[in-house]
Amino acid sequence: MRASQEDFDSAVDRMKLLEDPDSDTKLKLYALYKQATEGPCNVPRPEVLDIIRKAKWGAWNALGSLPKEAARQNYVDFVSSLTPSLESSSQAGPGAGRSLPESEHVVMTSEDSITTIMLNRPAKKNAITIQMYQDIILALKAAGKDNSAITVFTGSGDYYSSGNDLTNFVSFASGDLEKISEESANTLRNVVDTFIDFPKPLVAAVNGPAVGISVTLLGLFDTVYASDRATLHTPFTSLGQTPEGCSSYTFPKIMGPAKAAEMLIFGKKITAREACAQGLVTEVFPDRTFQREVWTRLREYAKNSPNAMRIGKQLLRSSEKEKLHAVNAEECRVGRERWLSEECAAAVQSFLSRKARL
Widest distance between CA atoms in the chain: 64
Single pTM value for the model: 0.71
Kindly report, residue by residue over 25-73, the tens digit of the pLDDT.
888 888 999 999 999 998 888 775 566 777 888 889 999 998 888 888 8
Give residue 98's pLDDT: 37
What SS3 state is found at 174?
Answer: coil
Residues 111/146, Cβ–Cβ less than 8 Å: no
Specify the pLDDT at position 180: 79
Mean predicted confidence (pLDDT) in 335-345 = 84
| pLDDT value at residue 92 | 33
CATH topology for the 106-357 domain: 2-enoyl-CoA Hydratase; Chain A, domain 1 (3.90.226)
Are the beta carbons of 230 and 158 closer than 8 angstroms? no
Distance CA 198, CA 219 (A): 13
Q: Where are the domains of the chain?
A: 1-86, 106-357
Q: Is the pLDDT of residue 231 over 90?
A: yes
The average confidence (pLDDT) of the chain is: 86
pLDDT given at position 85: 40
Condensed to tens digits (0 to 9), the pLDDT of residues 268-317 reads: 999 999 999 999 999 999 999 999 999 999 999 999 999 999 999 999 99
Q: What is the pLDDT of residue 11?
A: 80
What is the sign, positive or negative, of the torsion defined by CA atoms of 355, 235, 250, 305? positive
Confidence of residue 2 (pLDDT cuts 50, 70, 90): low
Q: In this predicted model, what pLDDT tens digit does every residue of 152-204 receive, in sequence order?
A: 999 999 999 999 887 666 655 555 677 778 888 999 999 999 999 999 999 99
Query: How high is the pLDDT of residue 353?
Result: 65
Query: H helices within the chain, ranges in order?
Result: 5-15, 23-38, 51-61, 68-82, 130-145, 166-170, 177-197, 213-216, 247-255, 257-264, 272-277, 290-301, 306-317, 321-339, 342-357
Check: CB of residue 236 under 8 Å from CB of residue 269. Answer: no
Beta-strand relationship, 270-271 and 231-233: antiparallel
Q: Which CATH fold topology does 1-86 show?
A: Acyl-CoA Binding Protein (1.20.80)
